[in-house]
Structure 1
Amino acid sequence: MTKQVVAITGASNGMGLAAAKLFAQKGWIVYGGARRVEKIPASDTIHALKLDVTDTASNHNFIEQILAAEGQIDVLINNAGYGESGPVEDITLANARTQFETNFFGAVELAQLVLPTMRAQKSGRIINISSIGGDIYTPLGAYYHATKAALQQWSDTLDIEIAPFGVRSIIIQPGGTESSWGDIAMANAEKNLKAGSAYKPLVDKVSGLFDADLGAIGATSEDLAELFYKAAIDKKPKRRYFNAIGDRAMVWVARSHPKIYKKTLMTMLDIMGKRSQRKK
């Protein structure tokens, strides 16, 4: 039986790295792409390739190398992404565009590059790593949330278009994770503040939300890698995959009861603001 081939972007750390290891353990041929390619553990089954999803030449080279070596790509996992956090008023449009180039347009271009092969195979899956942030929202995350919402609408539309060819486009929506994502996002928020910004108190409040122990248990990278794998092999794949009931519940509340969601969010921010004042 021919081994299946998976291409994973953002494979140098976190859930992308965990997914690369898991698929390799399951007997797949893995091609991991990342800018920090040296952090991908290359082996007989994991092939590390340089990839910058914001660069068209890099995307073409990534897919062409895989097809030249294997002649097939069975699953593409669009995992590369980050959070360009900060106030809407303060974030430069250049940074906002980079957020979209990384989180959205990179996935779009890679999908366009693999689809001719998948259609010819009459099989394949494009697994797009969104977030519950594609449906919920928090202050300072406007451009991140916008990219994930765009990714979801795009994926759903793509799925309808390609299903007749035996190919599927699927969304995975992680919630809280045990990773450095929050630290990086808040570091970006601080960098994006203009001198004397009116939004510094808000950044302090949101930082408190990330730092607070609110009783939520974040998923590990390994948990999410298992979810990636399930989405890749399910005979009847779902439109959406969630890691936990709590993640699904948050999305449901935000979409079905927006007033309750907003009131809860504002209450939490108010609590964080009072804590911040007491520390001063």
Structure 2
Amino acid sequence: MLNAEPVALVTGATSGIGEAIAERLHAANYRVFAVGRNPEALQRLQSRGLAARSLDVTDEAAVDRLVQEIQTSHGGVDLLINCAGFPLTGPLEQLTLSDLRSLFETNLVAALHLSQLVLPGMRERGTGTIVNIGSTAGRFVGPGAGGYHIVKYGMEALSLALRAEVAPFGVRVVLLDPTGVRTPFVTTQLDAHPTYDDDDPYGGFKRRYAESTRRLSGTPRVMITPETVARAVVRVVEAKNPKPRYTIGASGKATLLLRALLTDRMWERILMLGLRD
């Protein structure tokens, strides 16, 4: 670290994983710019001493202004945490293209844009770290959440390619792939009991998918907390030579091991258990 109070920019910091990361970095003596769109959460972060800013990461002009502000007032960003994003479930046939575009813009394009903005300063200083929050959903595919799998596979490619390109300049890029994380958004979705149109050809599948997801999430040690991810981020940032990618959560590691051992056909059969009529 170059100074006593290095500067961290954390996106998606008004809830869940991002908020936990921002607070833990603040406790580790970072000057944290925590950005998001929830006014109440921003006020809460501000009251705790973080530099909270309202920001839509898909608003390119607003993002440009914020990074320029940090550059002017603090000399640049030492640590970028790309955490902004949201899930998207549903059969691929029924996803609206506008929803899919929004998913890509928020989860993936914004992460690249922010990286492009902070990299010139990092290259000039010869140091800096970018941590991208991916998901084990970017390492395997299951039915019912194809859109989310697609964008998380994209984050894998972005992170690993960018890491190789900027390593010669002394800049580190690390990808964290958590298993399912119990955030307020996720628990709200799990607790919901939507009704399905009888004319919907995917109605039965959607119902069984929701029931299966609730059962799985209720299994002990399947899901982890945002604080678990936040602790992993701090360990990665403080590591002398971090690995390109980390899997967070025992259930995620077990799933990836199982996927590596099975053929595509065997994997598909396991995933469809309980989802077929």
Q: Is the structural similarity TM-score above 0.5?
A: yes
Contact 2:128–2:170 (8 Å) recurs in 1: yes
Q: 1:196: how far off?
A: 3.0
Deviation of 1:26 after TM superposition, in Å, equals 1.0
Cα distance change of structure 1 residues 235 and 174 upon mapping to structure 2, 3 Å threshold: same
In 1, Cα distance between equivalents of 2:241 and 2:79: 15
Q: Count how many residue pairs are aligned between Structure 1 and Structure 2.
A: 270
| Superposed CA offset, 1:157-212 (max 9, x none) | 11110000000111100102222343566799969x88932111111111112211
Deviation at 1:260, TM superposition (A): 3.4
What amino acid sits opposite 2:254 in the alignment? A
Name 1:267's counterpart in structure 2: 273
Matching residue of 1:233: 238
Gaps of 5+ in 1: 274-280
Matched, 1:115 2:119: yes
Tell me, yes or no, if structure 1 residue 170 matches structure 2 residue 174: yes
2:8/2:79 contact within 8 Å kept: yes
Matching of residues 49-198 of structure 1 within 5 Å: 49-183=53-187, 196-198=199-201
1:246 matches 2:248: no
What secondary structure, in the 3-state scheme, does the structure 1 residue paired with 2:275 have? helix
In the other structure, the counterpart of 1:23 is 25
Judge which range, 2-11 or 172-181, deviates more.
172-181
Measure how far apart 1:242 and its partner are: 1.9
When residues 189 and 102 of structure 1 are mapped into structure 2, their CA distance, relative to the original with a 3 A threshold, is farther
What letter matches 2:271 in structure 1? L
Instruction: Work out whether residues 136 and 179 of structure 2, in 8 Å CA contact, stay in contact via their aligned partners in 1.
Output: yes
Q: Are 2:206 and 1:203 aligned?
A: yes
Determine the structure 2 residue equivalent to 1:3: 5
Which stretch of structure 1 is more off in the superposition, 44-53 or 99-108?
A: 44-53
Whole-Å separation in 1 of the counterparts to 2:95 and 2:194? 10
- Mapped to 1, the partners of 2:102 and 2:197 lie a distance apart of 18
Aligned to 1:276: none
Give, in whole Å, the separation in 1 of the partners of 2:141 and 2:185. 16
Structure 2, unpaired ranges of 5+: none
Partner amino acid, structure 2, of 1:19: I
CA, structure 1 residues 95+44, in 2 after alignment: closer, same or farther (shift >3 Å)? closer
Superposed CA RMSD in Å reads 2.3
**Counterpart Cα distance in 2 of 1:9 and 1:105:** 13
- Paired with 2:128 and 2:24, the residues of 1 have a C-alpha distance of 19
Structure 1: 4+ residue segments shifted above 4 A: 183-191
SS of the equivalent of 2:199 reads coil
Please report how far the alpha carbon of residue 140 of structure 1 lies from its aligned counterpart in structure 2 after TM superposition.
2.1
SS of equivalent residue, structure 2 residue 93: coil
Normalised by the size of structure 1, how large is the TM-score? 0.89
Whether the 8 Å contact between 2:108 and 2:154 is mirrored in structure 1 is yes
